[in-house]
Amino acid sequence: MTGIRLDSVTKVYDGRYLAVDDVSLEVPAGEFLVLLGPSGCGKTTLLRMIAGLEDITAGDIWFGRSNITMLPPKERGVALVFQNGALYPNRTTRENILFPLQMAKEEPAEANAKAVGVARILQIDSTLDRLPRTLSGGQRQRVAIGRAIVRQPRVFLMDEPLSNLDATMRTELRQELGAMVRDLDVTTVYVTHDQIEALTLADRVAVMRNGKIEDIGTPEEVFNDPATAFVAGFLGSPRINLMSATVKVTAHHRVTLELGTQSIALPPTDRRSLILNRHDGARVIVGARSDAFTLTSDADTQLTGSLRTLEFHGNQWIAFVECGLELVNPDLVGVQPPTAVRRMQNGHTRHAAEHESLLDKLRNALRRTPAEPPPEDPAPAHRRADLILEVPSNEGLKPRDTIRLAVDTAKLHLFGEDGRRIDRLTRQ
Ligand SMILES: Nc1ncnc2c1ncn2[C@@H]1O[C@H](COP(=O)(O)OP(=O)(O)OP(=O)(O)O)[C@@H](O)[C@H]1O
**Which tens digits make up the pLDDT trace of 335-383?**
865 444 433 333 344 344 444 444 544 444 443 444 444 444 444 455 5
Task: Give yes or no for residue 195 CB within 6 A of ligand 1.
Answer: no
Q: Of 47-56, 235-244, 394-403, which gets the smallest average pLDDT? A: 394-403
pLDDT tier, 426 (very low <50, low <70, confident <90, very high otherwise): confident
Mean pLDDT of the chain: 87
Task: Give yes or no for residue 43 CB within 6 A of ligand 1.
Answer: yes
Task: Give yes or no for residue 41 CB within 6 A of ligand 1.
Answer: yes
Predicted structure pTM score: 0.87
Using the mean position of ligand 1's atoms as its centre, give its distance from the Cα of residue 4 in Å. 22
Task: Give yes or no for residue 39 CB within 6 A of ligand 1.
Answer: yes
Using the mean position of ligand 1's atoms as its centre, give its distance from the Cα of residue 38 in Å. 11
Ligand 1 atom 26, closest CA: 39
pLDDT of 382 = 56
Rounded percentage of the chain residues whose pLDDT exceeds 70: 88
Using the mean position of ligand 1's atoms as its centre, give its distance from the Cα of residue 42 in Å. 6
In contact, 390 and 290? CB cutoff 8 Å: yes
* 356 against 330, higher pLDDT: 330
Ligand 1 atom 31, closest CA: 40
Task: Give yes or no for residue 44 CB within 6 A of ligand 1.
Answer: yes
Q: Best mutation site among 9, 11, 35, 39 for ligand 1, i.e. most ligand atoms within 8 A of its Cβ? A: 39
Ligand 1 atom 22, closest CA: 44
pLDDT tier, 164 (very low <50, low <70, confident <90, very high otherwise): confident
Using the mean position of ligand 1's atoms as its centre, give its distance from the Cα of residue 211 in Å. 10
pLDDT for residue 169 is more than 70: yes
DSSP annotation of 342 reads P
Task: Give yes or no for residue 45 CB within 6 A of ligand 1.
Answer: yes
* 118 against 350, higher pLDDT: 118
Task: Give yes or no for residue 40 CB within 6 A of ligand 1.
Answer: yes
Q: Is 210 left (phi over 0), alpha (psi -120 to 50) or beta?
A: left
Rounded percentage of the chain residues whose pLDDT exceeds 90: 68
Number of CB atoms found within 10 A of residue 78's CB: 25
Task: Give yes or no for residue 37 CB within 6 A of ligand 1.
Answer: yes
pLDDT tier, 299 (very low <50, low <70, confident <90, very high otherwise): low
pLDDT of 43 = 97
Task: Give yes or no for residue 99 CB within 6 A of ligand 1.
Answer: no
Ligand 1 atom 5, closest CA: 13
* 363 against 96, higher pLDDT: 96
Task: Give yes or no for residue 48 CB within 6 A of ligand 1.
Answer: no
pLDDT tier, 393 (very low <50, low <70, confident <90, very high otherwise): confident
pLDDT for residue 255 is more than 60: yes
Using the mean position of ligand 1's atoms as its centre, give its distance from the Cα of residue 134 in Å. 33
Domains of the chain: 4-226 (3.40.50.300), 241-332+377-416 (2.40.50.140)
Mean pLDDT calculated for residue range 408-418: 95
Task: Give yes or no for residue 17 CB within 6 A of ligand 1.
Answer: yes
Using the mean position of ligand 1's atoms as its centre, give its distance from the Cα of residue 44 in Å. 7
Mean pLDDT calculated for residue range 185-214: 96
State which ligand 1 atom lies nearest to the alpha carbon of 20. Answer: 14
Question: 303-336 burial, b for 16+ CB within 10 Å, e for fewer?
Answer: bebebbebeeeeebbbbbbbbebbbbbbbbbbbe
pLDDT of 345 = 35
pLDDT of 271 = 93
